[in-house]
Amino acid sequence: MNQRQDPIGVFDSGIGGISALQAMVRLMPRETFIYYGDSLNAPYGTKTPEEVRTCVRAVVNRLLDQQVKALVIACNTATSAAAETLRRELEIPVIGMEPALKPAHEIRHGGKILVLATPLTLRQPKFSALMDRYGEGAVRVPCEGLMELVEREDMDGARGYLEKLFSRFDLRWVDAVVLGCTHYVFLKSMIREMLPDHIAITEGSEGTARQLERVLKAAGLNREEGDGHVIFETSGPAEEIATMERFLSRRL
């Protein structure tokens, strides 16, 4: 069978990766996506790399059983812990995500860059390598507990969390804030309202979608006709599927 017609597997520890999925669906409307939210094992960001790799292995096996032609790790944490291993082991393309520090570095004009991400992402060698290249003025800001507020749709809780977090910094000297966890992208408009206008916000959804498109085209795996759709799956309760569908059409 023509592999072009096969679905693309996308996953995260919960609903966060749907922020990246939105960009993928917009850019590649002919593709079919299977999105797997591993909410039973969330959060990933406070686990050890080995624990995350175990969770990821189970998710990836489920997706491979469904003949996915490519895999998108729509999670910065899982990418930093498992992308290298997956690329070694799998024959299909594996696209990962990393905090959008490079674009923040490019627009920086001498001030600080706040990198908001999970504790695990910020501790990994992959992020240290990124810091070595683009980390001038960048500060690691681990946000333990923030993804849970997004999962629970506790917007008041998230606002309180972020107000406290930003109050630790003199925002006059901040040039950019990096949303280095796909869950935080659902708080982008709230964060935009909270921050002074001179601060740029960067995140990786669009870049990941473009990278996926490039990789599929280069491998001759992109679908050129027909209408795509999205199938949601979860390791949590079945009711979560309705929430996931809602998050797919949520404005960012």
Catalytic residues: 75, 181
Calpha distance 186→5 (Å, rounded): 30
Calpha distance 235→244 (Å, rounded): 13
Work out whether 234 is an interface residue with ligand DGL (CB under 6 A).
Answer: no
Which pair of structure tokens corresponds to residue 145?
A: 């507990």
Work out whether 75 is an interface residue with ligand DGL (CB under 6 A).
Answer: yes
Work out whether 235 is an interface residue with ligand DGL (CB under 6 A).
Answer: no
Contact in structure between 113 and 200 (CB atoms under 8 Å):
no
* Contacts to ligand DGL from residues 136-195, by CB under 6 A: 147, 181-183
Least distance (Å) from ligand DGL to the CB of residue 94? Answer: 16
Cα–chain center distance at 180: 7
Calpha distance 57→189 (Å, rounded): 33
Work out whether 43 is an interface residue with ligand DGL (CB under 6 A).
Answer: yes
The SS3 call for residue 98 is: coil
Least distance (Å) from ligand DGL to the CB of residue 113? Answer: 18
Closest CA to 59 of 13, 105, 98, 92: 13
* Contacts to ligand DGL from residues 90-119, by CB under 6 A: 118
Work out whether 13 is an interface residue with ligand DGL (CB under 6 A).
Answer: yes
Least distance (Å) from ligand DGL to the CB of residue 28? Answer: 21
Instruction: Provide Rg for the chain, Cα atoms.
Output: 18
Least distance (Å) from ligand DGL to the CB of residue 191? Answer: 15
Cα–chain center distance at 203: 9
Total binding residues toward ligand DGL, as defined by CB under 6 A? 16
Q: Considering only the stretches 40-48, 85-93, 218-226, 228-236, report the one whose residues sit in contact with ligand DGL under the rule CB under 6 A.
A: 40-48
**Sole residue written with tokens 């594996």:** 94
Which residue ranges make up the site for ligand DGL (CB under 6 A)? 12-13, 16, 42-45, 75-77, 118, 121, 147, 181-183
